[in-house]
Amino acid sequence: MGTAVSAEPERARAEDFERTIAADERIEPRDWMPDAYRATLIRQIAQHAHSEIIGMQPEANWITRAPSLRRKAILIAKVQDEAGHGLYLYGAAETLGASRAELLGKLHTGRHKYSSIFNYPTLTWADVGAIGWLVDGAAITNQVPLCRCSYGPYARAMVRICKEESFHQRQGYELLHTLARGTGAQRAMAQDAVDRWWWPSLMMFGPPDDASPRTAQSMAWKIKRHTNDELRQRFVDICVPQAEALGLTLPDRDLRWNEERGHWDFGAVDWDEFRAVLSGGGPCNEQRLDQRRRAHEEGAWVREAAAAYAAKHPAGADR
Ligand SMILES: [Fe+2]
Ligand SMILES: [Fe+2]
């Protein structure tokens, strides 16, 4: 298909693109696409990939202190999954012409962002539960619709990621459930973790719709399927009954069922805090980036060894 497409005049290729989007079919790496569509996807996929690998840090912080072998094994598996998610996503970005080295360079020099949520500290063991329940839960709410994203490699990566995220969400819920039924101190620790992670989780859906100028174009291209506020509302509606089942409260006095809307009303998110954390002012921004750069430098010998091995053994030569 490649040669036939490249011989077509620009206008016909653009029409082809529009037709594919309108028919709910997938755009694939070799298909023609508008530069802005490509740039938007690279930015979004890269930010997503960066969030996966930076997100390993707050939880890895607790691996050595997990309270049992079972909990340690679960947490190691989860943190390892997040590395895998980063890998699929950098791979998806690569199909658009952005190399992993280039994207990591932008992360390390602060030109690319990652989710603001990972700039908060994990103070107690219960934070591992709150992250699984709320942060992975918010990630699933965001990502399930991305399985129908118009760009094929991104959509397919999301299918596998969502399956793993749902395991992450359940292990967090189960961890909190155990603490909430434990001693008074364990219960208090679970409640404190939920109190600290609830609002930052709501920020994960991004700014309100009226302050999100790129949403309309992304929805027209079927990269995004729902607005930030729609997804945030869906998340709140899912979490309220789950919090009740846990026997924990959500730290929002304005939370009440709205019969007319058929949704839970909730209080105002502190968008000043969101902007401050996103632009570097969160409690852990510096620590997260320093650690990421250090891990990259310390992994240089692995990349060199892998490249030397690949040069000696060209793909398929040993088959
Ligand atoms: Fe993930
Ligand atoms: Fe996850």
pLDDT at 2 over 60: no
Distance 10 CA to ligand 2 centre (A): 41
**Which residues, in sequence order, are CB contacts of 65 under 8 Å at separation 6+?**
125
pLDDT of residue 7: 54
Ordered DSSP codes for 36-99: HHHHHHHHHHHHHHHHHHHTHHHHHTTGGG-SSHHHHHHHHHHHHHHHHHHHHHHHHHHTTT--
pLDDT of residue 316: 64
Q: Does residue 187 come out as left (phi exceeding 0), alpha (psi in the -120 to 50 range) or beta?
A: alpha
The ligand placed nearest to the CA atom of residue 161 is: 1
Q: What percent of the chain has pLDDT over 90?
A: 92
Distance 35 CA to ligand 2 centre (A): 31
pLDDT of residue 233: 98
The ligand placed nearest to the CA atom of residue 82 is: 1
Distance 181 CA to ligand 2 centre (A): 24
* Mean pLDDT computed over 90-113: 96
* pLDDT greater at residue 317 or residue 14: 14
Q: What are the structure tokens assigned to 313, written together?
A: 């053994």
pLDDT at 262 over 60: yes
Distance 93 CA to ligand 1 centre (A): 16
CA pair distance 162, 165, nearest whole angstrom: 5
pTM: 0.93
The ligand placed nearest to the CA atom of residue 136 is: 2
When the pLDDT of each residue in the chain is averaged and rounded to a whole number, the result is 94
List, in sequence order, the alpha helices (H) in the chain.
Answer: 2-7, 10-22, 35-54, 56-60, 69-94, 100-108, 126-130, 137-143, 152-180, 184-203, 215-220, 228-246, 271-276, 285-298, 300-312
Given the structure tokens 């960066």, which residue do they identify?
A: 50
pLDDT tens, residue by residue, 207-222: 999 998 889 899 999 9
* Mean pLDDT computed over 268-292: 95
* Mean pLDDT computed over 123-146: 97
Given the structure tokens 């942060």, which residue do they identify?
A: 135
The ligand placed nearest to the CA atom of residue 165 is: 2
φ and ψ at residue 210, rounded to 5 degrees: -75, -5
pLDDT of residue 317: 62
* Mean pLDDT computed over 297-319: 87
Distance 163 CA to ligand 1 centre (A): 10
- Please name every residue paired with 265 in a beta bridge, in sequence order, or none if there are none: 256
* Mean pLDDT computed over 99-128: 96
pLDDT of residue 318: 57
Distance 245 CA to ligand 2 centre (A): 22
pLDDT tens, residue by residue, 276-285: 999 999 999 9
pLDDT of residue 261: 97
